[in-house]
Homo-oligomer: A and B are copies of this chain.
C-alpha cells in the first residue's frame, strides 16, 4: 500500500476552493420550468376538494399536478413501506404535505399560481407526542401501515434479548431507571434539495438530484411510473452535504410528474423552510433500566426506545430495528432485553441523520453509566473499561464481536482530555464550574447490503472506477481512488472515480450508514484485483517469470528485485491484445452476509460495528445556565485510515454536529406547526460555538472484511459527543443532570433551582 494511509489531495478539492463546482442547483437546462408546491397548513386533515383549474389559466403556468394526475401510476412510494403519495390523495398527515405542484415559466409565476388553487380540508385531530401516538386511543395516521397488534400508530416493534432479564435484575445489587428524550433536529446540509427532471421523447425519464442513494431512488421512481430501470436515469453531481437528509426519494417523483405533464424539463430547488418540512432526525424517547453489581459490573439492562418517524416511514422501520440492537451500548451485559418502536406522528417525515438511531440510545445509556459510576463512587473511565465489549465477546445478537477497538478509543479520548480519576469537577470562580465527561458508542451499518463496482484500465495505465457512490464532501472519490490505485500499482492521479449516473454506473445500496468505504471500497478493490490478475498473468508470460515473483509498482510490472525486467502498461496491453490499445475490465458485486431475525434479534447485526468514544470539558455558568465547551476529543476505530485527514475531518464534523445537538439544536412544533424553520430561528453551531480545543484520534483495529482493513467511520464520532458533553456538565454540577436534549441554559437554571430547592 503506497497511497492508502496517506493524505493525497482530495478529489474535487481544488474545484471547490475555486468555486468551480456546479452543484445540482447551478445546472440549468434550456427550456426548463420552475416548480413550486402548495403545502398543507394542517398536521392532519381530510382533503375534501382540490381544484387547480384557475391556476392553469394563469399565463406562464405550464402544468399543475394534483391527486387527479396519479391515474396509471403507483401513487405511493417509500424505501421499505410505500406510504408516501406523490401528491396528497385522501388526507394530509403533516404540515407541509404536498397537495399540488405547479410548473411555470418562472418561480414567481409558480408562486402566484399556488394562490389560485382551491382546496378544502376537514381537520382531523393530530398527534405529535411520541408516547401519545403509541396509545390505542390516538387518532390513526396510516390505517394501512400500523401494526394492529401493537396498537396506536406503532408501525413496527423490534426486539433483541439475551440472558434472562428478570433474573438479571433479581441478581443485581442496585438498579437505576431513567427516561430520556431527544428532539427532532435538522441535517443542516447547506445545499438544499434541488431536482431537475425531464423526459426524453423515447419515454425515458432523466432525473438529476443530489441524492445519497441513486440506485434505490431509480428503483422507486421506476416503480411509481411503472418503467424498467433502464428507462429511468438518475444523475448525481457533487452533493453539498447530505448527513442522511438526501437518502430518500423526496421531491423527485412530483418533479418527474410535473415534467411529464408539461413536456418540459422542470427544476425545483427547495427553500430552506421546505427543507425543514422534507426531512429531519427522528425524535425519540428512550426508557432505560440498568441493574449492576457493587463491583461495577453491569448485570441487566432493559431498554424501550420510541422513534418518531413523522408522517411517513422512510427508513424508520429499518433504523429502529438496527437501533434496537445497540440500545444498551457497547457493553458486555449478561442479561439484556431491548425493544424499539417505530411510530408515526403528525410531524413532517423524519429519516436517517448521521449516527442514525445510535445517537438517541447513546444519549441514554452513556448518561446512565455515569450515574451508575457516581452511585458506586467509581471512576466513569474505569467502569466503562470494565464493561466494554472485547474481542470475541458475544453481543446481544449472539455473534462474537471482532475487530473491537472500543477500549482503545476510550483510552485515547481520556488521554486527550487529560482525564484523571476523581478530578472531574473544578471551580473556576464561584458561579462558573468546570467538568469533564466521557462517552462511548457502538453502531451498526446497514446489513446485509449490496455494492457493485466496475473498473476499467486504459492502455496507458490510467483507470476509471465506475461507481454509484455519492461524493457529498466526505471524500468518497478520493478514498476509492486510493484503493484502486494501490491495487493496480498506479499513482493517484491516474485513477478517475465517476459520479453516479445510473445509465453508466452499477448498483449501489447507498452512500449512507458509513458504508461506502467498506462496501464500495471492497467491491472496487476486488474489481481492480481482477485486472491486476490479468496483468500479472500476461506479464508472467511475457517476462517468463512466475506470477509470485512479479509486482505492480510505479506504473509498471516488474520482477521483484530485477527492475530491468519490466513492462509498462502499454507494453502489457500489447502483450495481451497485440496493440497498446483496448480496455481491461474488472467488475464485482459485493453482497454482505448477515441480518438478524425479526423476532429474536439473533444473527449477524452488522457487516462491521462502529466503535467510538468522545470526551469533553465544559464550563457551566451556574447563574445563567450558559455552557461553554472548552474541549472535545473524539476517537474512532476506523480499522484502517485510508485517508487520515479525511477521517479526521469526518470526526470533527461529527463532533460539531454532536455539540449542536447537545446544546441547542431542536426543531420546535406547536401542535404540529413548525415554528423555527430558518437558520435564524434554528440554531446550528457557528464558529463561535467551536470548542477552543478540538482533537480527533484514529484507532486502527483492522477489519478482516474491509478494504485494507478499513471500516466505515463517517458518523462514528457523533453519538458519543452529546453524552460526553452531558456527562461533563453533570460532573461540573455534582451529578445534576438534564436528560432531555438539548441542554439549554434555561434547563440548567431550572435544574439548579430545583436542586437548590431540594436542599
Question: Measured between alpha carbons, how far is A215 from B462 in the docked complex, in Å?
Answer: 13
Measured between C-beta atoms, what is the minimum distance from A460 to chain B in Å?
Answer: 5
A458 touches B230 (CB 8 A): yes
A273: interface (CB < 8 Å): no
- Chain B residues closer than 8 Å to A591, beta-carbon distance: 577-579, 582
User: B464 to A583, Cβ gap below 8 A?
Assistant: no
A229 cross-chain contacts in B, Cβ below 8 A: 458-460, 462
Contact A200 B20 (CB under 8 A): yes
Are the CB atoms of B494 and A498 closer together than 8 Å?
Answer: no
Given A460-B222, A464-B504, A503-B498, decide whether A493 and B582 contact each other with a Cβ distance below 8 A: no
A498–B461 alpha-carbon span in the complex (Å): 24
Q: Chain B residues with Cβ under 8 A from A466's Cβ?
A: 504
Q: How many copies does the complex hold?
A: 2
Known: A201-B14, A503-B464, A507-B582. A493 touches B448 (CB 8 A): no
| Least Cβ–Cβ distance between A224 and chain B, in angstroms | 14
- The answer on a CB contact under 8 Å between B18 and A201 is yes
A587: Cβ under 8 A from any B Cβ: yes
A458: B residues at CB distance < 8 A: 228-230, 507
CB distance from A96 to the nearest CB of B (A): 31
Cα distance, A87 to B383, chains bound together (Å): 76
- Residues of chain B contacted by A454 (CB below 8 angstroms): 454, 456, 583, 585, 587
Q: How far is the CA of A204 from the CA of B458 in the complex (A)?
A: 16
Compute how far the CA of A89 lies from the CA of B747 in the bound complex, rounded to whole angstroms. 78
Q: Which of B450, B460, B501 contacts A579 (CB 8 A)?
A: B450
Q: Is the CB of B20 within 8 A of A201?
A: yes
A509 at the interface (CB under 8 A from B): yes
How far apart are the CA atoms of A503 and B204 in the complex, in Å? 22
Q: What is the minimal beta-carbon distance from A438 to any residue of chain B, in angstroms?
A: 39
CB distance from A624 to the nearest CB of B (A): 47
- State in angstroms the CA–CA spacing of A494 and B18 once bound together: 42
Q: Is the CB of B509 within 8 A of A463?
A: no
Contact A587 B587 (CB under 8 A): yes
Q: Please, how many angstroms separate the alpha-carbon atoms of A229 and B229 in the complex?
A: 30
> 0/1 per residue, A54-75, Cβ < 8 Å to B?
0000000000000000000000
Which of A30, A501, A581, A588 counts the most chain B CB atoms within 10 A? A581
A228 contacts B450, C-beta separation under 8 Å: no
Contact: B585 with A506, CB < 8 Å?
yes
The reply to whether B503 and A228 contact each other, CB–CB distance below 8 Å, is no
Please indicate the chain B residues that have their CB under 8 angstroms from the CB of A219 in the complex. 581
- Complex contact A459–B15 (CB within 8 A): no
CA distance A218 to B584 in the complex (A): 17
- CB distance A494 to B230 under 8 Å? yes
In angstroms, Cα B202 to Cα A582, docked, is 25
The residue of chain B having its C-beta at the shortest distance from the C-beta of A466 within the complex is B504
Decide if A581 touches B509 in the complex (CB within 8 Å).
yes
Contact status of A582 and B577, CB under 8 A, knowing A20-B201, A462-B231, A463-B230: no
The CA of A589 and the CA of B495, in the complex, are separated in Å by 20
Contact B585 A507 (CB under 8 A): no
Check A583 against B452 for contact (C-beta < 8 Å).
yes
Shortest distance from the beta carbon of A480 to any chain B beta carbon, whole Å: 14
Tell yes or no: A12 within 8 A of B by CB. yes
Chain B, Cβ-Cβ closest to A22: B30
Q: How many Å lie between the Cα of A181 and that of B151 in the bound state?
A: 92
In the bound complex, residues from chain B placing their C-beta under 8 Å from that of A12 are 202
If A506-B456, A587-B585 touch, whether A228 touches B462 (CB-CB below 8 Å) is yes
The answer to whether B201 touches A452 (Cβ under 8 A) is no
Kindly report which residue of chain B lies nearest to residue A468, judged by CB atoms: B583
Q: Are B585 and A589 in contact (CB under 8 A)?
A: yes
Known A-B contacts A15-B202, A18-B201; the reply to A498 vs B504 at CB < 8 A is: yes
* B504:A504 contact, CB within 8 angstroms: yes
Kindly identify, within residues 484 to 500 of chain A, every residue whose CB is under 8 Å from any CB belonging to chain B: 493-496, 498
CA distance A14 to B199 in the complex (A): 13
Q: What is the bound-complex CA distance between A409 and B28, given in angstroms? A: 53
Bound form: Cα–Cα A456–B588 in Å: 11
The residues of B that contact A503 with a CB separation of less than 8 Å are: 464, 496, 498
Chain B proximity of A16: nearest CB distance (Å): 9
Q: Which residue of B lies closest to A227 (CB)?
A: B462
Kindly provide the distance from the CB of A586 to the nearest chain B CB, expressed in whole angstroms. Answer: 8
Q: Identify the closest chain B residue to A591 (Cβ).
A: B577
**Quick one: which of A20, A231, A466, A585 has the most chain B CB within 10 A?**
A585
- Name the one of B11, B202, B496, B577 contacting A14, with C-beta atoms under 8 angstroms: B202
| A232 (CB) vs chain B CBs: closest residue | B462
Tell me the A542-592 residues at the B interface (CB within 8 Å). Answer: 577-579, 581-585, 587-589, 591
Contacts of A204 in B (CB 8 A): 496
A81, B215: Cα distance in complex, Å: 45
CA of A200 to CA of B28 in the docked complex: distance in angstroms? Answer: 18
The 8 Å CB contact of A507, one of B30, B448, B459, B587, is B459
Residues of B within 8 A of A463 (CB): 230
Per the 8 Å Cβ criterion, residues 231-265 of A in contact with B are 231
Q: Write out the residue numbers on chain B whose beta carbons fall within 8 Å of the beta carbon of A450.
A: 577, 579, 581-582
What's the least CB distance linking A531 to chain B, in Å? 10
Given A229-B460, A462-B230, A503-B498: A589 touches B578 (CB 8 Å cut-off): no
Taking the closest CB of chain B, its distance from the CB of A528, in whole angstroms, is 14
Tell whether, in the assembled complex, residue A583 and residue B507 are in contact, meaning their CB atoms are under 8 Å apart.
yes
> Most chain-B CB neighbours within 10 Å: which of A30, A452, A583, A588?
A583
- What are 17 A-B pairs with beta-carbon distances under 8 A? A204-B496, A215-B581, A228-B493, A229-B460, A230-B462, A230-B495, A452-B583, A452-B585, A454-B583, A466-B504, A496-B503, A498-B504, A507-B583, A577-B589, A578-B591, A585-B587, A587-B587
For the complex of A and B, the 7 pairs showing the least CB-CB separation, nearest first, are A585-B587, A230-B462, A506-B583, A15-B201, A504-B504, A452-B583, A228-B462
Task: Give me 15 other A-B pairs in contact (C-beta within 8 A), A18-B201, A496-B503, A577-B591 excluded.
Answer: A15-B200, A15-B201, A230-B464, A230-B496, A448-B579, A452-B585, A454-B583, A454-B585, A456-B506, A464-B503, A504-B504, A582-B589, A583-B587, A585-B587, A587-B587
